[in-house]
Amino acid sequence: MLLYIPVNRFISGGSTLKTLLDNLIPLTPVFVIPYLSGLLFWLATVIYINLKQVGEQVLRFNFMMILAGILSVLIYILLPTFMNRPAIIDNDIFSRILSWVYATDRAYNAAPSGHTFYTIICFLALWKVAPKYRTVWTIISILIIASTLFTKQHNVLDVLLGTGFAMLIYLVSANFVVLKKLL
């Protein structure tokens, strides 16, 4: 995950994956709260899963997070994508926070959406490790992923690619656990 920041700072060029559907999604600055909460959700999940030490689940989760981080950075470098962000004209607290996000997080590394794939990986791990709270994990995950669209940090295709990327990482990680057992 730490590689995201330097890559985001130095990447230029690339393409945007904007569709007509993206024009129908309004900029809604209040969604900056679930957007930023994603960082806390991921960190809390990493800590919880690793402290819980649930057999193969901890190994698989850590493998997914590391693999997703490395592969996404390679994608961002080799196939750069960016967002065309709208101007923020309101001056309420949420608009000011979103302006700060725009100022500190350049518009690059759009696809696959890291907010989407990290959230899905955490969601899948928590679904198995803490099934009692599945409704909570679902609501948090939906809000974080939706926030990427309503803050105009990502386009619909970025989110779809993030979802597919997370599913691919999940499938690969299953094979990793099986391979580890054989060794």
pTM for this prediction: 0.93
Cα 162 to chain centroid, rounded: 7
CA distance 134 to 111: 27
Cα 54 to chain centroid, rounded: 24
Better-predicted residue by pLDDT, 1 or 93:
93
- Per-residue pLDDT tens over the stretch 29-84: 999 999 999 999 999 999 999 998 777 888 899 999 999 999 999 999 999 999 99
pLDDT at 37: 98
Q: Please state the domain extents for the chain.
A: 41-182
How large is the average pLDDT for residues 152-175? 95
User: Is it the case that residue 4 has pLDDT exceeding 90?
Assistant: no
- Per-residue pLDDT tens over the stretch 107-127: 999 999 999 999 999 999 999
User: Scanning the structure block, which residue is given the tokens 């608009």?
Assistant: 95
Confirm if 112 and 161 have CB atoms less than 8 A apart.
Answer: yes
Range name among 70-79, 82-91, 172-181 with the lowest pLDDT average: 172-181
Among left, alpha and beta (phi > 0; psi -120 to 50; other), residue 129 is alpha
Percent of the chain surpassing pLDDT 90: 80
